[in-house]
Amino acid sequence: LLKLDKQKIKKIIERERPKRVGLAAPDGLLNVLPELAKYIESLNVESVIFGEPSYGTCDLGIADSELLGLDLVFNIGHATDVENIGKVYLIDAQYELETDKLLHEVENYLKKVGATRPALFTTSNYRDVTDKLKTGLIKRGIKVVEPGKFPGLFEGQVFGCNYYSSIFAKESDILVFVGQSPFHAAGLSLVSEKMTVMADPHNAIVEDISKTAETLYKAAVARIMLAKNAEKIGVVVGLKEGQMFYKKARWISRRLISMNKESLVLAMREITPWKLNSIRGFDAFVEMACPRIPMADRGFDRPVLSYPEGIGLLKVLNGKELGNPYRMSVLY
Ligand code: SF4
C-alpha cells in the first residue's frame, strides 16, 4: 500500500559512503524502520533507528545525530522538493491506491454544491494519488486550478503550519484536501476561508470540513479570551530545529509586558499537557513551536495559544477585533 523509495537509499549510500546512518519516520511509519535497518546493515553500514517519531522537516534530529556520530540520516515519509537538508535525506513514501471511486465521489460532490473550479492540496504521502485524481477530473472536463508552490515544497503540498500554496488558487471555488487528516483540511479552510472538503482516498469518501474548522476556530477564540484575563503568560520556544523561534518569542513576551502582563520565556523539546501542567506560576502560555499543539492536545489545564493565536491575543489586548487569526497566514 505504501511504496518506499528504497532504490534512492541505496544510491545515496553508494554515493556518500557513510559508516553510520540514522533512520527516522513519523508515528505511522516507525514499523517499517527495523526491516530497513536490516537492509542497510546488509550493505555493511551501521544503522540506528530513532525510536521517537519525527514530525517532519521541523523535526530532523540534527543535534541527536551529532551526538550519535551519524554520517547521515534517512527521514522516511516526509519528502519535499529538496533531496536533503544538511545531512538529513528525505525519502519519499507514496500510498498506492485506486482512485476511481474517489474520483466519482469528488465529481458528484462538485455537482451537488455547484463548484466548477477545484484546486487540489495534499501532504507528502498522497502526491501520486492526488495526481491521479487531478488527471481523472481533467479527463472529465473539469477545470482544475493549479495550486501554488512554496519554495522547497511540491506544488499543492501543505503542512499544518504552511498553507502557502492555497494563496495561489485564487480562481478556485472549492479546495479539495486529499488525505486522511481533518486537521490539515480544516487548516486549509481556516487559512483560505473557502469551501473546503477532505477527499479520503482510503475510504473513497468526500467530507465537508466546515464543521471541524468552525469547532477549531471557536476553541481558539475561547483560549484567546481566557488568556486575555491572564496575569502571567509564559512564551514557550520549541527546541526542535524547525520549531525554534526565539526572537519572535522574545518579541511577543516584550509586547505582553508592555501591555501590563507578566511574561517569561521558556524552552521545551516536546510541549505536552503532562509537562506544561506541572509548571506553575503562569496563567496561560503562548507556544511558538507548532500550531497543532493547542488544537490537537486536549488536557492542558490552562489556555495554551499557538503563535497566530498569540498574535490574535496581542490584537485583542490592543482593543482591536480578533477576526480570523489564521487567515492567509503562512505561519512562521
Ligand atoms: S505543523 Fe507542526 S509538526 Fe507539522 S511541520 Fe509544522 S511545526 Fe512541524
Determine the Cα–Cα distance for residues 288 and 237; give it in Å rounded to an integer. 5
Cα angle 118-121-125, degrees, rounded to a multiple of 5: 140
Compute, in angstroms, the gap from residue 286 CA to the centroid of ligand 1.
16
Tell me, what's the pLDDT at 332? 37
Q: What are phi and psi of 79, to 5 degrees?
A: -65, 145
Beta-strand pair 2-4/93-95: antiparallel
Residue nearest to atom 1 of ligand 1 (CA): 160
User: Environment class of residue 326 by beta-carbon count within 10 Å: exposed (0-12), middle (13-18) or buried (19+)?
Assistant: buried
The helix or strand, by DSSP H or E, that contains position 307, with its residue range, turns out to be helix 307-317
Q: Answer whether 91's CB lies under 8 Å from 121's CB.
A: no
The amino acid that residue 147 corresponds to is P
SS3 227: helix
Compute, in angstroms, the gap from residue 137 CA to the centroid of ligand 1.
30
Compute, in angstroms, the gap from residue 107 CA to the centroid of ligand 1.
31
From the alpha carbon of 59, which atom of ligand 1 is closest? 8
From the alpha carbon of 58, which atom of ligand 1 is closest? 8
Residue nearest to atom 3 of ligand 1 (CA): 55
Residues with CB under 6 A from ligand 1: 55-56, 58, 159-161, 243, 290-292
Compute, in angstroms, the gap from residue 197 CA to the centroid of ligand 1.
21
Residue nearest to atom 7 of ligand 1 (CA): 290
pLDDT tens series, the chain, 332 aa: 788 888 899 999 999 999 999 999 999 899 999 999 999 999 999 999 999 999 999 999 999 999 999 999 999 999 999 999 999 999 999 999 999 999 999 999 999 999 999 999 999 999 999 999 999 999 999 999 999 888 999 999 999 999 988 888 889 999 999 999 999 999 999 999 999 999 999 999 999 999 999 999 999 999 999 999 999 999 999 999 999 999 999 999 999 999 999 999 999 999 999 999 999 999 999 999 999 999 887 899 999 999 999 999 999 999 999 999 998 654 43
Compute, in angstroms, the gap from residue 243 CA to the centroid of ligand 1.
8
Residue nearest to atom 8 of ligand 1 (CA): 58
From the alpha carbon of 331, which atom of ligand 1 is closest? 6
Determine the Cα–Cα distance for residues 225 and 229; give it in Å rounded to an integer. 7
Residue nearest to atom 6 of ligand 1 (CA): 161
Determine the Cα–Cα distance for residues 20 and 157; give it in Å rounded to an integer. 31
Compute, in angstroms, the gap from residue 161 CA to the centroid of ligand 1.
6
The C-alpha cell at 33 is: 524502520
